[in-house]
Structure 1
Amino acid sequence: MPIGALDYHDRTTHSPRSVREAGPGLDFDNKPRPYKEYVDRATVPLTDRIRPPQQPALAAIAEATPEGTPTPDRHPDRETVTTLCYYAAGITKRITKREGTLLFRAAATTGALYHVDLYVVCSDLEGADDSGTPTTDLEAGVYHFDPRTLSLDVLREGDYRGVLASASADEGVADAPLSIVATSTWWRNAWKYGDRTFRHAFWDSGTTLANLLAVAHALDYRAEVVTGFADQPVADLLGLEPDREAPLELVPIGAGDSVPESDRDDFESIDPATEPLSPTEKSFPTIRDAWSAGTLESGAAARSWRTERPAGSIGTRESGDGDRIALEPVDGETASRRPLHETIRRRGSCREYERDPISVRKLSTVLDRAVRGVPMDIRQGGDPPLSFVDPYLVVNGVEGLESGTYRYHPAADELERLRVGEFRSEAGHLALDQRLAADAAVCIFFLTDLEDVVDALGDRGYRVAQLEASLTAGRLYLGTYAHRDLGGTGLTFYDDVVSDFFAPRAAGQTPMFLYTMGRPA
């Protein structure tokens, strides 16, 4: 019987003892390759079709589009697909060292193991030839994005968008000319992290989709994350075995190209051959069971799950009576104008911080732009900016802001003071005793009440809480690296120690994600 989300979370909780008693070291001879390589599939090259999004990163993460309203008559083409995939999951940096060349992707991922893949499901996408005559730029089909070669592997030919529309029962999916499906290949991450990979699937797809949404909005396309869908039909469409690789989210891009009512909802199975990931691939029943516990059986079930949720936020806490400090974000005219494409290329995971303080206005601006609520199907009109998680801060190096612990209230753009004092050693301990957290100017923890979330949304709610936290953290990455003198990185943590540290304010809540920010050394 599949284990439930609460049981899974308890089984994979880090504590000082569990980390101290961890198993043997890593087998580097059996390390899985970070790419999915098909053996005999045709490919569509994309290398000459990157369109760098010029909109400032701080604007792209803050608004649905530059003007705040999608452009319905703007239809994506092959160039759009290239830009979306490249800046979400492509190889953006190559660093040569004595031991070889290191390849870095566009979005942060745990352990640089890159277990999240992107698939494209589209109708015929039209472009223009050299004379300007309209022509089919990318034929309708199902494709896998290969970041190694910047190309698409052809999995199916024809318009299969109806499968996603039926599986999700989502109007945005049915109306989109293309959708991106994010998946996780468990072994590529579990090689190092074992059963915690199910958490990391949503951490790492969240940071990837934060890039994807920002690029789509910078290019003036409607885009949102669909978390409710029947899992098995989507896996079957992509030719996946969920015990090894499973679909996580759908992201419809654009509008105005509805799937015909007669579109196919029955299709032949495929089992495309791929190169082995490593000499010996291991399975993790706990991951499989956690994924299975949250699956939905049909589009109708997905619609009910999405629409019948209780109103308002879930898993969060009401405001307390601590002193409120209004933040001071700069306006659009004053804010950093670093373009989104340069920000994504610049982004890294900071490995060392100076203890020099950062500006309260820059912290305010990053928080203001990043924590505005990600577009997710499970959110309802009138929901607060964050519907399922609360941000708590440990501040140790911000000019103009007293060191201490805070709860951030994004709707009011205010910090609620919880405790005063320097907590550098405590911050380091919370983050698995890592010096990075102790040296950071600020640590931002996202916490939720999982019992409330699972009670309201079932086991699939676990995915939603993890994803809202990681998508927001992905935007924090972009907001941070839009500033020349800021750096940031995500870290893992001792779960219950974090909950105890923020008690009693966070009583009953557990951490979903930790993001740190500061001045890079």
Structure 2
Amino acid sequence: MRFSSLNPRYYQFLPSTSVIPTLTSISKFNKRLSGTPSMSFSSPSSFSPPSSSANSKEAVDDQGLLQVLKYHNQTKHSFTKYARGPHGLDWANQPNPFRRYDSAPLLPLLHFPIDNETVSLSTIDAPLYSSLFLSLPPPKPISKSTISQFFYDSLALSAWKTTGFSTWSLRVNPSSGNLHPTEAYIISPPIESVSDSPFVAHYAPKEHSLELRTKIPSEFFPRFFPHGSFLVGLSSIFWREAWKYGERAFRYCNHDVGHAIAAVTMAAAGLGWDVKLLDGLGYEDLKKIMGLQIFPEFEIPSRAVKGKIPEIEFEHPDCVLLVFPNGIGEFDVNYKELSSSISEFSKLEWKGKPNFLSKEHICWDIIYRTAEVVKKPLTLVHRLLVDPFQRSGLYGEDSYKGFTTRQVVRKRRSAVDMDGVTEIERDVFYQILSHCLPSGCEPREKQKRQLALPFRTLAWDAEVHAALFVHRVAGLPQGLYFLLRNENHLDELKKAMNTDFVWAKPEGCPDDLPLYELFRTDCRRLSKQLSCHQDIASDGCFSLGMLARFQPCLREKGVWMYPRLFWETGVLGQVLYLEAHAVGVSATGIGCFFDDPVHQCLGLKGSNFQSLYHFTIGGPVVDKRIMSLPAYPGPSIDA
């Protein structure tokens, strides 16, 4: 995600006295949106405070919603000020990007070829990328080889980069600022040549190895899950992001959880495995099943503080994913009994001591207060409905370059700059967007339920849409467009957004693609201004802002949906990354944008809809000063 560590100037967000020119300079359309030239964008979106309630649970929920809204509004960037963060980068205390559990047994995994000259395109362990959206291959059994492939194609290193005196690694799963707050765990039945008993292990990407944390009871998997299943746990180290981004880091950590969920889902799909979020589990269950009770309790300070605070290097448990052979239908998951069984994990013998990441720290207290109120409780449901796999639209194989899944996921890169010249064809644009739809292309099926790859992993109906700034799509007029990912929201969106929008079907747009033209205009300068004045937002083929149904979702489902909305944007972002590489261009996630000016551009008021993540796709500019090195050069070389 934008930007690399070579560009620290983009992260030193200091308030500027020079306010951006008003949108009136873009076009008459933008003049109508911007209002008076003296308009200020420094104040946060308004929101409706929850009404007081005598019911204690409702009162707790109200306080949680107020805290989430406070965090979200406080961490918005505006034309006159940025969200609070460090005034410079303390390179001496940059967190170690690799967590290790000292003294835990290290179990090396296998490595695999990437390119066609060493693996046939027809080989089942490297199916064509585009084929996975049509159907999944037959499931492979769990083995050391398949587990190795799974991690190699999802969370492993993808390359090392070097220039001058700097060397840094890249990973298959993208991360904000390449800081990688996300850690991963596997909870698995016995695997030959790995462990002769069920176990919990931490994945160490630098070594492409598993660190054995503990062994678990043999009856755990047969009691709760289908044969051939295992679990993947994801957690976040907030400090890794906060070192660079300050208070906004909680947003970015949850983007990265979404990227990791999609990366895991795509790698599993290549092996014929399906993935579902076990979202009935609560925060305490997640903490125990990953062995994260090893970290000391963290006492949140009353304000932001600086010093030696090693407690903030703890891992916040985010989610657990069930990976299982595709084709299995509905099956029982008794969350009450599962939670009771997981509670016994705290009595197991856990191996390894987590390494320290930095000598000194800054604690942005609002991050931890917000993380506290969005902890999800245990949900006592008894069925896990596994919907049949839904294929996505394919409007022409010519859109793709014939890459295997491994070639796409391991060679994906975040572009640092776009060339401002490259165009894509209209049909390619439509093809990319078709894989962004949650429900696939079933005739007469409304876009709503998350049935298609990789969105089917998520446990809720789609809440995120995309407002697109089209710059260089041959055969499509420049302008503002909208991809509707939950068609039940259409009327609400039309009422909430600018009344001048036409909501017209673009020329040549497939019937099953809910894409709308809103307004024709050259919006290159506008998209650049809205994305913190970054050229990368205007120099691509198109850019976009991901718009979530926000406050109504939090009220209806609970404040624990707050991080999940960011997860959904991260999953969508990962699709855009992979699609861009698969069609021969590049992409970059943009976490820095001016929140409320984006909303004003669309005519939105209040907090019913909020922009959570920006993205850009186009022709990348390659920096020839940077040398690429293999991800895993060999056992005798430490890159």
* TM-score normalised by L of structure 1: 0.82
Distance in 2 between residues matched to 1:403 and 1:505, nearest whole Å:
25
Alignment partner, residue 87 of structure 2 = 24
Alignment partner, residue 101 of structure 1 = 167
Counterpart contact for 1:58–1:478, Cα < 8 Å: no
The Cα of 1:345 is off from its aligned counterpart by 2.3
Q: 1:138 to 1:35 in 2, by over 3 A?
A: farther
Distance in 2 between residues matched to 1:276 and 1:57, nearest whole Å:
39
Provide, for residues 450-505 of structure 1, a one-character-per-residue CA deviation record: whole Å limited to 9, x for no partner: 11110111111112211112101101111111122x11100021111111111259
Distance in 1 between residues matched to 2:457 and 2:175, nearest whole Å:
21
Q: 1:507 to 1:395 in 2, by over 3 A?
A: farther
Alignment partner, residue 491 of structure 1 = 590
Counterpart contact for 1:202–1:467, Cα < 8 Å: yes
Distance in 2 between residues matched to 1:347 and 1:109, nearest whole Å:
12
- Check if 1:418 corresponds to 2:498: no
Counterpart contact for 1:226–1:249, Cα < 8 Å: yes
Distance in 2 between residues matched to 1:428 and 1:161, nearest whole Å:
56
Distance in 2 between residues matched to 1:305 and 1:500, nearest whole Å:
42
Alignment partner, residue 7 of structure 1 = 70
Rg larger in 1 or in 2?
2
Alignment partner, residue 478 of structure 1 = 578
- Check if 1:205 corresponds to 2:275: no
Q: 1:161 to 1:209 in 2, by over 3 A?
A: farther
Counterpart contact for 1:338–1:483, Cα < 8 Å: no
Q: 1:456 to 1:407 in 2, by over 3 A?
A: same
The Cα of 1:137 is off from its aligned counterpart by 6.2
Alignment partner, residue 238 of structure 2 = 186
Q: 1:304 to 1:418 in 2, by over 3 A?
A: farther
Q: 1:100 to 1:24 in 2, by over 3 A?
A: closer
- Check if 1:217 corresponds to 2:283: no
The Cα of 1:45 is off from its aligned counterpart by 0.9
Counterpart contact for 1:50–1:82, Cα < 8 Å: no
Amino acid at match of 1:266: E
Q: How many pairs are equivalent? A: 472
Distance in 1 between residues matched to 2:104 and 2:131, nearest whole Å:
39
Provide, for residues 133-153 of structure 1, a one-character-per-residue CA deviation record: whole Å limited to 9, x for no partner: xx7766410000001111111
Counterpart contact for 1:37–1:274, Cα < 8 Å: yes
Q: 1:198 to 1:226 in 2, by over 3 A?
A: farther
1:34 partner SS: coil
Matches within 5 A, 1:108-127: 108-126=174-192
Distance in 1 between residues matched to 2:612 and 2:470, nearest whole Å:
19
Q: 1:81 to 1:282 in 2, by over 3 A?
A: farther
Q: 1:409 to 1:259 in 2, by over 3 A?
A: closer
Q: 1:175 to 1:503 in 2, by over 3 A?
A: farther
Distance in 1 between residues matched to 2:235 and 2:228, nearest whole Å:
19
Distance in 1 between residues matched to 2:228 and 2:588, nearest whole Å:
33
Alignment partner, residue 367 of structure 1 = 433
- Check if 1:57 corresponds to 2:115: no
Counterpart contact for 1:16–1:494, Cα < 8 Å: yes
Amino acid at match of 1:59: S
Amino acid at match of 1:375: R
Distance in 2 between residues matched to 1:427 and 1:230, nearest whole Å:
39
Distance in 2 between residues matched to 1:362 and 1:287, nearest whole Å:
40
Amino acid at match of 1:54: A
Amino acid at match of 2:131: A
Alignment partner, residue 330 of structure 1 = 395
Alignment partner, residue 266 of structure 1 = 344
- Check if 1:86 corresponds to 2:167: no
Q: 1:63 to 1:458 in 2, by over 3 A?
A: farther
Q: 1:82 to 1:306 in 2, by over 3 A?
A: closer
Distance in 1 between residues matched to 2:93 and 2:566, nearest whole Å:
29
Distance in 2 between residues matched to 1:274 and 1:20, nearest whole Å:
31
1:330 partner SS: coil
The Cα of 1:445 is off from its aligned counterpart by 1.4
Counterpart contact for 1:226–1:376, Cα < 8 Å: no
Distance in 1 between residues matched to 2:604 and 2:365, nearest whole Å:
36
Counterpart contact for 2:528–2:538, Cα < 8 Å: yes
- Check if 1:196 corresponds to 2:248: yes
Distance in 2 between residues matched to 1:176 and 1:465, nearest whole Å:
30
Counterpart contact for 2:436–2:576, Cα < 8 Å: yes
Alignment partner, residue 324 of structure 2 = 254
Alignment partner, residue 290 of structure 1 = 370
Distance in 1 between residues matched to 2:607 and 2:317, nearest whole Å:
33
Alignment partner, residue 491 of structure 2 = none
1:182 partner SS: strand
Provide, for residues 347-397 of structure 1, a one-character-per-residue CA deviation record: whole Å limited to 9, x for no partner: 111112122222112211111123334014523xxx5xxx10111101111
The Cα of 1:294 is off from its aligned counterpart by 1.8
Alignment partner, residue 40 of structure 1 = 103
Matches within 5 A, 1:230-241: 230-240=282-292, 241=295
Counterpart contact for 1:177–1:258, Cα < 8 Å: no
- Check if 1:147 corresponds to 2:205: yes
Q: 1:239 to 1:504 in 2, by over 3 A?
A: closer
Counterpart contact for 2:286–2:320, Cα < 8 Å: no
The Cα of 1:334 is off from its aligned counterpart by 6.4
Q: 1:48 to 1:476 in 2, by over 3 A?
A: closer
Please point out which of 521, 533, 551 is paired with 1:451: 551
Amino acid at match of 2:344: D
More divergent stretch after superposition (49-58 vs 494-503): 49-58
Counterpart contact for 1:404–1:421, Cα < 8 Å: yes
Counterpart contact for 2:332–2:382, Cα < 8 Å: no
Distance in 2 between residues matched to 1:35 and 1:64, nearest whole Å:
35
Distance in 1 between residues matched to 2:429 and 2:605, nearest whole Å:
23
Distance in 2 between residues matched to 1:368 and 1:418, nearest whole Å:
19
State the superposition RMSD in angstroms.
3.2
Q: Structure 2: give runs of 5+ residues left out of the alignment.
A: 1-62, 120-124, 299-313, 386-392, 439-449, 488-511, 622-639
